[in-house]
Amino acid sequence: MHSFYFIINKQSRNSHDVFKKLLVLLPKHKVDYDFLVTESIEQLDTLLSQLKNTIQPTDIIVVVGGDGSLNQFVTFYSKYCFNNPIGYIPAGSGNDFARANVIPFDTEEALFHLFSVKRAKERSVILATQNQTEHLAVNSIGFGIDGLIGKFIDSKGKKEKAGGYAYALSIFSGFLKQEKFPLTLTLDDGVHVFDQAQLVLVANNPYFGGGINIVPQASGVDDQLDILIADNVNVKDLISILSKLFFKQTHLSHPKLYSFQTKEATVHINSGQYAQKDGEVFHQDEYMYYFKSEKLLFWI
């Protein structure tokens, strides 16, 4: 018999709304469940360290939140070496993980979906390491414009409204502010050098920014990392790329975009750039990250 532990991030307004719905819906289902409510990343860390000592192998941990909440969870999940399957109820602004894995956005439908799953499934997440620093991502890790847009959205308090075309509009603002930077990408087939990069995206999900199908071939089930680079793009190029992206899905044919598929890669950026992992923004003065996939169990 499975027990379900629902992780609720109280700081997220959307998660709070979904939490209230779950309080009404869950008693209608004949399942054992409990709520773990967190108000900070530090509290999430503490709760999961305690849960590790009591959870049973057949129990399922369900994250209620957006892509950022899921990212925070898998970081501590990996830290404490959990092997329990991860369930998911979307409650974010973008919900790209739910979109790629066909999880309903409606809370009641998502709950029925969760309880209809018969067995756990392996899904790949992105693991990026640099010395003692480690990042996990369920959707993507991006550098340059992608990170700068995330910083802009965070600073303006617009995260809950961002997504899809709203995110696309932010691309113009990010494009105007983003400085070009040298990039070295090392793959199995050799070294690729870009002198005027503006975006580097490492993905295993076709969507980013709340439904933008930026890397159509990316998948969490093929053990491959999909890498997209924009180099020396001008305003005319950007308009052309966005037009192809939103209306024809032929943007990858643009000569200023470069795409790669690989099992592992090293990204070297010798300058301070904003970056994002599943929408969570971070910054370093230099990046030398080794990327590969890591398998986790999901109940989706």
Q: Which CATH superfamily is domain 3-119 in?
A: Probable inorganic polyphosphate/atp-NAD kinase; domain 1 (3.40.50.10330)
Residue 135, pLDDT score: 94
Residue 132, pLDDT score: 87
- Chain center to CA of 216: 15
Residue 238 has pLDDT above 60, yes or no: yes
Average pLDDT of the chain is 93
Residue 162: HSE in the Cβ half-sphere, 13 Å Cα cutoff: 24
Say which amino acid occupies 258.
Y
For the chain, give the percent of residues with pLDDT over 90. 82
Q: What is the pLDDT confidence band of residue 160, given thresholds at 50, 70 and 90?
A: very low
Say which amino acid occupies 43.
Q
Tokens representing 38 are 């967190």
Residue 158, pLDDT score: 54
**Helix, strand, coil shares of the chain as percentages rounded to 5?**
35, 35, 30
Residue 162, pLDDT score: 53
Query: Degrees (nearest 5) of the Cα angle 139, 177, 202?
Result: 20
pLDDT digits (tens, 9 = 90+) for 51-102: 999 999 999 999 999 999 999 999 999 999 999 999 999 998 889 999 999 9
Residue 121 has pLDDT above 60, yes or no: yes
For the chain, give the percent of residues with pLDDT over 70. 95
3-state secondary structure of 22: helix
Residue 90, pLDDT score: 95
Strands (E), the chain: 3-9, 32-38, 60-65, 86-90, 121-130, 133-137, 140-144, 181-187, 190-203, 207-208, 212-213, 225-231, 257-262, 264-269, 273-277, 280-284, 287-298
Tokens representing 259 are 């795409």
Q: Is 127-293 assigned to CATH 2.60.200.40?
A: yes
**Sign of the alpha-carbon torsion through 197, 202, 206, 211:** negative
Local structure of residue 244 (DSSP, 8 states): I
Domain regions of the chain by residue span: 3-119, 127-293
